[in-house]
Amino acid sequence: MTLIQAVFVLFAILTLGAGLFTVLSRHLFHAVLYLILSLVGVAGLFVLLEAEFLAGVQVLIYIGAISILIIFAVMLTRGMARNPGPPLNNQSLAAAVIAGLFFVLLAPVIAGFPWPQATQGVPADAIEALGRSLVDPNQFALPFELASVMILAALIGAIFIAREKR
Amino acid sequence: MPDGILLEYVPILTLILVGLGIGGVALIAPQLLAPKRPSRRKQLPYESGMIPIGPAQRRFPVKFYLIALLFILFDIEIIFFYPWALQVRSLKTLALVEMGLFVLILLIGYIYAWRKGAFEWER
């Protein structure tokens, strides 16, 4: 096993392990903290794929902003601090059976799927190319401008809904 | 992917390790070094020196959520600047105009947020 594979295994364990704890945490707030750890693992996987820009987006948007939003959402939730009750209920067995069956169904499909192989490496100036294509009218200039309209819509919607009425 | 690319991330790894180290030492050192003479008052939760009132975990006002949402939206705006800024010297006027339009549309939202008092805490 090369060093890079070892690092990959480390990040995979981090992502999956933290994801598991996210689901199993009894306290909603702890679940959010584990979710952030899992997102850190995903950022590491992006780095290993040489998708540095995506890794940066992952850190800035997901770890930096979305997780804060989720934390605020948890803190706004009524009864967050109350005893959350046992993590299992009487439907656990049925859920486990169905999830297991779904896994049995899905696993051969994923294993047998002809995943495409990358034919060429990541170009060294991938981020520069992204910057060029964002403003190139023949490529992504229109989606780029539309993105600002979407952010504007989200901003106005957020203010309209969340602002306290006077 | 060659192993050599990992070398580029040694500074980040170092930063993470130093951060964990400082945090770990700050947690462990007082356990070993600090004198412990607990009293009832000392063991109260610390609330900036005041006597703590009410439960520690209670619902937060929705204002915080609005601030977080505004933060996300402008965070997303900033992320678009990075690839553009790397190329800005080699791009033509059109690219500048397009970024100007992008910012202008968001500026409308900014002015709307400002006029609606979204940045004011006491309202």
Predicted complex ipTM: 0.72
Q: With bands split at pLDDT 50, 70 and 90, how would you rate the model's confidence at A85?
A: low
Range 97-126 of A in CB contact (< 8 A) with B: 121
Give a yes or no: residue B80 inside a domain.
Answer: yes
Which pLDDT score, from 0 to 100, does residue B2 have? 60
Q: How many domains are contained in chain B?
A: 1
Range 41-100 of B in CB contact (< 8 A) with A: 55-60, 62-66, 68-73, 75-80, 82-88, 91, 94-95, 98-99
**Cα B32 to the center of its chain, rounded Å:** 32
Q: How far apart are the first and last CA of chain A?
A: 63
Q: What is the pLDDT along chain B (123 residues), one digit of tens a residue?
A: 566 777 888 898 899 999 999 999 999 998 888 888 888 888 888 878 787 777 766 777 777 888 888 888 888 888 888 888 887 777 778 778 888 888 898 898 889 888 887 777 765
Could you read off the pLDDT of A47-82 as tens digits, one per residue?
A: 888 888 888 889 988 998 889 888 888 888 766 656
Closest residue in chain A to residue B55, using alpha carbons only: A81
Task: For helices A126-135 and B63-87, give the axis angle rounded to 10 degrees.
Answer: 100
Give a yes or no: residue B103 inside a domain.
Answer: yes
The first and second tokens of residue A148, run together, are 């600002």
Task: For helices B93-115 and B63-87, give the axis angle rounded to 10 degrees.
Answer: 170
A1-84 maps to CATH 1.20.120.1200: yes
Q: What distances in angstroms separate CA A61 from CA A29, A159, B46, B76, one per listed residue?
A: 19, 20, 32, 7
Give a yes or no: residue B40 inside a domain.
Answer: yes
- Which residue type, as a one-letter code, is found at position A22? T
- Which residue type, as a one-letter code, is found at position B50? M
Which pLDDT score, from 0 to 100, does residue A79 have? 64
- Which residue type, as a one-letter code, is found at position B81? F
- Which residue type, as a one-letter code, is found at position A49? L
Which position has the token pair 């500048």?
A: B96
DSSP-derived letter for residue B50 is B
CA–CA gap between residue B52 and residue B54 (Å, rounded): 7
**Chain A residues touching B106 at Cβ < 8 A:** 148, 151-152, 155
Range of the domain at B73: 3-115
Could you read off the pLDDT of A114-149 as tens digits, one per residue?
A: 888 877 777 777 788 888 887 777 888 888 888 888
Output the CA torsion sign for B46, B49, B54, B56: negative
Q: Hey, how many other C-beta atoms are within 10 angstroms of the C-beta on A46?
A: 19
CATH number at residue B16: 1.20.58.1610
**Chain B residues touching A149 at Cβ < 8 A:** 105
Task: For helices A28-48 and A3-24, give the axis angle rounded to 10 degrees.
Answer: 160
Which of A48, A18, A20, A13 shows the shortest CA–CA distance to A36? A18
Q: Hey, how many other C-beta atoms are within 10 angstroms of the C-beta on A30?
A: 14
Which of A23, A26, A57 shows the shortest CA–CA distance to A43? A57
Could you read off the pLDDT of B77-87 as tens digits, one per residue?
A: 888 888 888 87
Q: Give the domain ranges of chain A.
A: 1-84, 126-166
